[in-house]
Amino acid sequence: MKPAFLILAVLCGISSGAGLSAQSLEERKAAVQELLLKDYDPTSIFRISRTEVPRAKFPVIDMHSHDYAADSAEIAAWVRTLDSCNIRYSSVMHCEWIGAPFEEFVCKYRPYGDRFLFWCCFDYTGFGESGWAEHAVRELERCHALGARGVGEMVDKGLGDTYARPVPGSGIHLDDPRLRPLIERCGDLDMPISIHIAEPIWMYEPMDRHNDGLMNGANWAVDTSIEGCRDYEELMAAFERALEAYPGTTFIACHYLNMNQDLERLGRLLDGHPNLYVDIAGRIGESAVIPRATRRFLIKYADRVLFGTDNGMAPDMYRMVFRILETDDEHIYNPDYGYHWSYAGFHLPDDVLRKIYHDNAARLFHLD
């Protein structure tokens, strides 16, 4: 079968051999012309290695997860998954969409409290009013006493810290000087701030035929035309101002700081700000498409990168991330990440895996 015919056959869902004669060449061409981008679901036909990684090679601390479990039975099932995947701890972020006060959130996981790291939010109730900062600092200290290891996940996609509870921090950005008492107190208490800044760059590009991340970009596009919404560069500039303003506070930039398209720029930020770490959560789709560049970055900055997932509790989800980090498998399709492109593994050295999987987080949180 000639390559052109093979491509058409794959696109149209036709197998090689007898099935190919079921349609004429013109019919196959017409079918391709009618195929919608949203329906394109390629399957790799390469006869190459496919490595199963049921369990991480070294113990893992997942630095980015959420309160996915609905009840004690689901928490118990989650812990069994953590055990089977070699995950020692999972960080559980407390956000507005969780709903319950911090103490209820901790109580829910108490039977397995030695497996979860809890994170709290800033309390923006009465933000800017007289006495707000003192109240907010007291609430931060109360959560810390109840077991909060850090603050997060803060989320600013342009409109402020929208994930905070009990009220969202609409219009409140990390470089707001009124946050100084809180951010400095985080440094005093050795509580890192985990923050999601912006979205991947494809979500800001024109949604046209030149956007190679179009399918996922359209789903998560950011409307910067909304009044008061900061664009990508404004958000990054504000974040860098915060890094400079609070050298005594540790910041964890979620999702490679949404800078997978420019890892050299991300590296310069890490070089210039020793209080900055990045987690790799939820960005397999953006990183494994450029495996060699990402591998070089992860090796160079192995002491500053933290493992994270941010994609639920399913065993196969964890195992896909392990496969990308540990193997040199190629041409991997995973529709869960929303793009049309394929991925390849990083095949990281053991010393780098140990740091990213476990040692960097253990150092930050003084864990065994």
CA 333 – CA 125 distance, rounded (Å): 44
Under-50 pLDDT residues of the chain: 1-20
* The pLDDT of residue 302: 98
**What local confidence, expressed as pLDDT, does residue 288 receive?**
97
Q: What pLDDT score does 29 carry?
A: 86
The candidate with the shortest Cα–Cα distance to 337, out of 313, 357, 309, is 309
Give residues with Cβ within 8 angstroms of 314, minimum separation 6: 81
Residues shown for the chain: 368
> Which pLDDT score, from 0 to 100, does residue 203 have?
94
C-alpha dist (Å) from residue 66 to 98, 151, 244, 270? 8, 13, 29, 26
Q: Which two tokens stand for residue 56?
A: 């991480």
Domain range 51-365, CATH architecture: Alpha-Beta Barrel (3.20)
Closest CA to 157 of 226, 77, 231, 81: 231
pLDDT at 97: 56
Per-residue pLDDT of 30-63, as tens digits, reads 888 888 888 888 888 999 989 999 999 999 999 9
Where exactly does CATH 3.20.20.140 map onto the chain? 51-365
Angstrom distances, CA of residue 147 to CA of 31, 61, 143: 58, 17, 6
Looking at residue 11, what is its pLDDT? 45
Q: CB-based contacts of 66: which residues, under 8 Å, 6+ apart?
A: 92, 93, 95, 98, 153, 310
Contact 251, 186 (CB under 8 A): no
CA–CA gap between residue 13 and residue 19 (Å, rounded): 10
- The candidate with the shortest Cα–Cα distance to 195, out of 295, 93, 311, 305, is 93
CA–CA dist 269, 236 (Å, integer): 10
Q: Measuring CA to CA, how many Å separate 349 from each of 277, 288, 352, 355, 357?
A: 20, 16, 5, 10, 12
Chain center to CA of 187? 23
pLDDT digits (tens, 9 = 90+) for 310-360: 999 999 999 999 999 999 999 999 888 888 899 999 999 999 999 999 999
Q: How far apart are CA 246 and CA 119, in angstroms?
A: 20
Amino acid 96: pLDDT: 63
